[in-house]
Amino acid sequence: MTASKVRAALDRAAAVGAGREGLNILVAVNPRAEDDAALSVVGRSEQELPLSGEPVAVKDNIATLDMPTTCGSRILAGYVSPFEATVVRRLRDAGAVILGKTNMDEFAMGSSTEHSAYGPTRNPVDPSRVPGGSSGGSAAAVAAGIVRMALGSETGGSVRQPASFCGVVGVKPTYGRVSRYGLVAFASSLDQVGVLGRTVDDAALALGVIAGRDPLDATSAERAVPDYRADVRRAATAAAPLAGVVVGRPREYFPVAMHGGVRDRCAVALDALVRLGATVRDVSMPHTDYAIPVYYIVAPAEASSNLARFDGVRYGARVSADALAAMYDATRSQGFGPEVTRRILLGTYVLSAGYYDAYYKRAQEVRALITQDFRRVFADGVHLLFTPTTPTPAFPLGAISDPYEMYLNDIFTATANLAGVPAISIPIGLADGLPVGGQIIAPHFGEGPMLAAAAALERALGASPLTTPPSPAAARS
C-alpha cells in the first residue's frame, strides 16, 4: 500500500517524461525511494505519521543525504551534503519519502528555471512555456501529477511565482517560521523554505510538518505551530467562512495597464471573497514600486557574500590552476553561470566602500518603508491582502532575454519577502488557457487565517484549473 504511492509517483514521472529529455523536472531520483517507503512505516502508527509513505519532491538547493545537492549549478556538480536539512528530516520523520530533487534556476536566481546547468524545465500545462522559477521543477512536479507536495525556496517569489504559472498552490511562510538549516543560502535575510501543493490542504499539511523552532537555525522562531489543517477544514465547512474578515485590495498591485486576463480573474476572485463573507477595502501601499530596485540591491549584496564559499576548495567542482588565486578564478568563472555571475558582480559593487551608502544602506532604509506599508494596513483593521501573484501568465521559453524584464516578474511577490510576512498563491482560473495565480498576504505568523481564506476561495472557485495533467505525448512535444 505504502510502497505503491512511491511506485505510482515514479511511474507517473516516467509517463510524463520528467527526465532531462522531456519536461526536465527531476534532476535526481532517490535510488532508495522504494526501500524508504517500506521502511518509513515500520513500527509506527498512522497517527504518528501524517505523511505516511507520501512521496515528496525537494528543490535541489535543500540538503539531502541520498542524492547530490547542486543548486542547478556546475560549481556543485556531484556535491553530496554530509548532513540533511531540518525540513527534510522533519518530512522523513513524518513518514514522507523523498522522491527526488527538482530542477531550479542556478542558486535560486531567476524566474523561469531557464538558468539551470541541467537545462530548462518545461511547464506541464504547456511545454512551450516556462514553469516560472526559481522553484520551477517543484511546481512542475506537482502540476504534472507526480507528487502531491514539494519543497521549494523563496527569496523574492520563487515558490509563489512558479505555483502561479503551473496552476498549483505555493506558500511562502513568515521569515523564521521554518528552519533554514540545510537550505543553501542565497540572501539570508530573505530566504525561507516554502511548500507547493496540489491543494491548499496539501500545502497546509506539509507546512505544519516542517514549521517550528530548530536549534540549528538561530533565526527560526520560538513559537508554537498551530494546526493549519484545522483552519483549512473549518474554512471548508463553514457557511460564511470569511465573515468579519477585511481583505485589502492594494491599488499599487492593480496597475492601469495590467494584463486583461489576470485582471479579470482577480475580479472574479474578489467577488468570491465577498460572497464568502469578507469585506473588500481599497488600500494603498505607496512604497510597492521600490520593491524591485530594493530587492535587486539587497539580494545580490547578500548573495555576493554567501556565494564566496564556493571557491573550489570546500565544495563541488574545482578547475585546477598553477596558483591558488588562479584556481579560485578558474573555478568560479567556469562554475557559475551568467546570471549568478551578474548577481555577484552587482552585489560586490553595491557593498563596495564608495557605494555602500548610496546603494546598500539606502536600500535597507527603503526596505523599512515597504515593511511599514504592511504594518500600517494591518494595524488599520485589514486582516489580509489580495493581489495577483504575477503580472502575466507563463511566458514562452526563451521569450525574456533582458535581465531587468525578468526581474519585473517579482514585482508583486518580492514585497512579502522584504517585509518577512507570509503569502500564498492559489490558482484562480485561466487566461489564454494558462493558469493565473491569486495571492493572499497575511501579517507575520498569520499563516492560519491566510490558509483558511485560501481554502475558502479555492472551494468557491471550484477545482484547480489543472484537472487533467498533461499526457505523455504532450510532455514530449
Interacting residues with ligand GLN (CB under 6 A): 108-111, 134, 153-158, 186, 299, 410
Closer residue to ligand GLN (CB): 28 or 190: 190
Residue 215 to residue 86: CA distance in whole angstroms? 10
Q: How far is the CB of 128 from ligand GLN (least distance, A)?
A: 21
E strand or H helix at 98, and its extent?
A: strand 97-102
In the complex, minimum distance from the CB of residue 114 to ligand GLN, in angstroms, rounded to a whole number: 11
Taking every pair of Cα atoms in the chain, the longest distance, rounded to a whole number of angstroms, is 72
Nearer residue to ligand GLN within complex by CB, 232 or 340: 340
For residue 23 the three cell numbers come to: 519536461
Q: From the CB of 158, what's the least distance to ligand GLN, in Å?
A: 3
Catalytic machinery residues = 59, 134, 158
Contact 99, 29 (CB under 8 A): yes
Q: How far is the CB of 186 from ligand GLN (least distance, A)?
A: 6
Q: How far is the CB of 156 from ligand GLN (least distance, A)?
A: 3
Return phi, psi of residue 286, to 5°. Answer: -65, -20
Q: How far is the CB of 372 from ligand GLN (least distance, A)?
A: 22
Between the CA of residue 446 and those of 90, 293, 383, 384, 466, what are the distances in Å?
A: 22, 27, 9, 9, 28
Grid cell, residue 98, equals: 523523498
Q: Name the residue with the smallest CB distance to ligand GLN.
A: 158
Based on CB atoms, which residue is closest to ligand GLN, 2 or 390?
390
φ/ψ of 235, rounded to 5, equals: -65, -30
Residue 333 has a CB neighbour count (10 Å cut-off) of: 10
Instruction: Please state, in angstroms and rounded to a whole number, the distance separating the CA atoms of residues 420 and 172.
Output: 9
Closest CB to ligand GLN among 68 and 132?
Answer: 132
CB-wise, 271 or 405, nearer to ligand GLN?
Answer: 405
230's CB contacts (< 8 A; 6+ apart) are none
Residues 259/392, Cβ–Cβ less than 8 Å: yes
CB 150 within 8 A of CB 399: no
State which residue, 343 or 459, has the beta carbon closest to ligand GLN. Answer: 343
Q: In the numeric block, which cell numbers belong to residue 193?
A: 523554505
Per residue, the 3-state secondary structure of 215-233, as one string, reads CCCCCCCCCCCCCHHHHHH
Q: How far is the CB of 437 from ligand GLN (least distance, A)?
A: 15
Cell numbers for 91, please give them. Answer: 518530512
Whether residue 110 contacts residue 135, with contact meaning beta carbons closer than 8 Å, is answered with no
State the minimum distance, in angstroms, from the CB of residue 59 to ligand GLN. 10
> Cell for 429?
482560473
Which residues in 110-138 are b (16+ Cβ under 10 Å) and which e?
A: bbbbbbbbbebbbbbbbbebbbbbbbbbb
Measured distance CA(384)–CA(244) in Å, rounded: 12
162 versus 448: smaller Cβ distance to ligand GLN: 162
By beta-carbon proximity to ligand GLN, the closer residue of 40 and 179 is 179
Q: Is 209 helix (H, G, I), strand (E, B) or coil?
A: helix
